[in-house]
Amino acid sequence: GAVVSQHPSRVICKSGTSVKIECRSLDFQATTMFWYRQFPKKSLMLMATSNEGSKATYEQGVEKDKFLINHASLTLSTLTVTSAHPEDSSFYICSAPLTGVEGFYTFGSGTRLTVV
C-alpha cells in the first residue's frame, strides 16, 4: 500500500518547451506532496510543498513561475517545468506523507528530465 505513481519516468525535451510531471497517490489521499530535485551524485533538495486546494510553498531560490505546481485533487499533484533550459536537466521526485503514520513518506520513482 501507500504507493505514489510518478510519470513519466524519463523525458527529453527541447529548450524552451514545457514538461509536465504527474504524481498520483494510488491507494491513499495525499493532502500534501513534496517535490524534490536531485542533481547527479547529490542529495535530494526540496523544491516546493503543495497542499491540496491551496497554493504551493516554494523553497528559497526556486522560481515559482518556472516550476508550476498544481495539487487540485487528493490523488494528483503535477509539476510543470516551463520554458525548460539545459540547466533544468535533473532528476525530479515527488513524495507524500502517509496520513496517520508519523514519519513515513512514500516516494515516486522519479522523472529523469533532459533538456537539449
Partner 1 sequence: DAKTTQPPSMDCAEGRAANLPCNHSTISGNEYVYWYRQIHSQGPQYIIHGLKNNETNEMASLIITEDRKSSTLILPHATLRDTAVYYCIVRVNSGYSTLTFGKGTMLLVSP
Other beta carbons within 10 Å of 37 = 21
How many Å apart are CA 98 and CA 96, to the nearest integer? 6
Which of positions 46-75 make contact with partner 1 (CB under 8 A)? 46, 49
4 versus 79: smaller Cβ distance to partner 1:
4
| Residue 101 DSSP one-character state | S
Number of residues interacting with partner 1: please give it, by CB under 8 A.
Answer: 26
> Is 39 among the residues that bind partner 1 (CB under 8 A)?
no
Nearest-Å Rg of the Cα atoms of the chain is 13
Single residue of 11, 13, 44, 62 touching partner 1 by CB under 8 A: 44
82 versus 112: smaller Cβ distance to partner 1:
112
Q: Is 87 helix (H, G, I), strand (E, B) or coil?
A: helix
Binding map of partner 1 across residues 74-93, x = CB under 8 A, - = no contact: -----------------x-x
Contacts of 37 (CB under 8 A, 6+ apart): 44, 45, 47, 90, 91, 92, 93
> Is 34 among the residues that bind partner 1 (CB under 8 A)?
yes
Task: Return residues touching partner 1 (CB under 8 A).
Answer: 4, 6, 31-32, 34, 43-46, 49, 91, 93-95, 97, 99, 102-110, 112
